[in-house]
A and B are shown apart, each in its own frame.
Chain A
Amino acid sequence: MRAGQIYLIIAIVLFGISFLKDKQRSKEALKATFKIFYVVLPVLVFVFVLMGLIEAYVSRETIVSILGQKSGILGILYAEIVGCIALFLPPAVFPFGGYLLKNGASYGSIAGFVFTAILIGVTTLPLEFKLLGKRFTVFRNIFTFVLAFFIALLMEVILG
Chain B
Amino acid sequence: MKKLLKNDAFQFLSLSILIILVVYGLNAAKGMIVARAVYVTFIEVLDIVVAVSIFIGLFQVWVKPPTIVKWLGKGSGLKGFILVCTFPILMGGSLFTVFPLLKTLREKGARPGAIASFITAWGGKAPLLPLETKFLGWPFALVRLGFVIIFAFLMGILMDWVGEKPAKL
Contact = CB atoms under 8 A, between A and B. Distances in A.
Interface of A: 2-5, 7-8, 10-12, 14-15, 18, 25-26, 28-46, 48-49, 51-53, 55-57, 89-91, 94-95, 97-99, 101, 107, 110-111, 114-115, 118-119, 121, 124, 127-128, 131-136, 138-140, 143-144, 147-148, 151, 154-155, 158-159
Contacts of A143: 116, 155, 158-159
Contact of B52 (A5, A18, A91, A121): A91
B54 A33 contact: yes
A159 B103 CA distance: 37
A8 B50 contact: yes
B95 A155 contact: no
Interface residues of B, number: 78
B99 A46 contact: no
B54 A15 contact: yes
Contacts, number: 235
Interface residues of chain B: helix, strand, loop or mixed (majority): helix
Nearest to B7: A42
Interface in B128-151: 128, 130-136, 139-140, 143-144, 147, 150-151
Contacts of A114: 136, 144
Interface residues of chain A: helix, strand, loop or mixed (majority): helix
Contacts of A138: 169
> Interface centre among B19, B53, B103, B150, by most A CB within 10 Å?
B53
Nearest to B18: A49
Q: Which 5 A-B pairs have the closest CB atoms?
A: A98-B135, A33-B57, A52-B34, A52-B37, A4-B47
B137 to A, nearest CB: 8
Contact of B103 (A28, A53, A131): A131
B1 interface: no
Interface string B30-66: 1101111110011011111111111111101110000
Given A52-B37, A55-B33, A132 B130 contact: no
Contacts of A15: 54, 58
B14 to A, nearest CB: 9
B116 to A, nearest CB: 5
A7 B155 contact: no
A45 B16 contact: yes
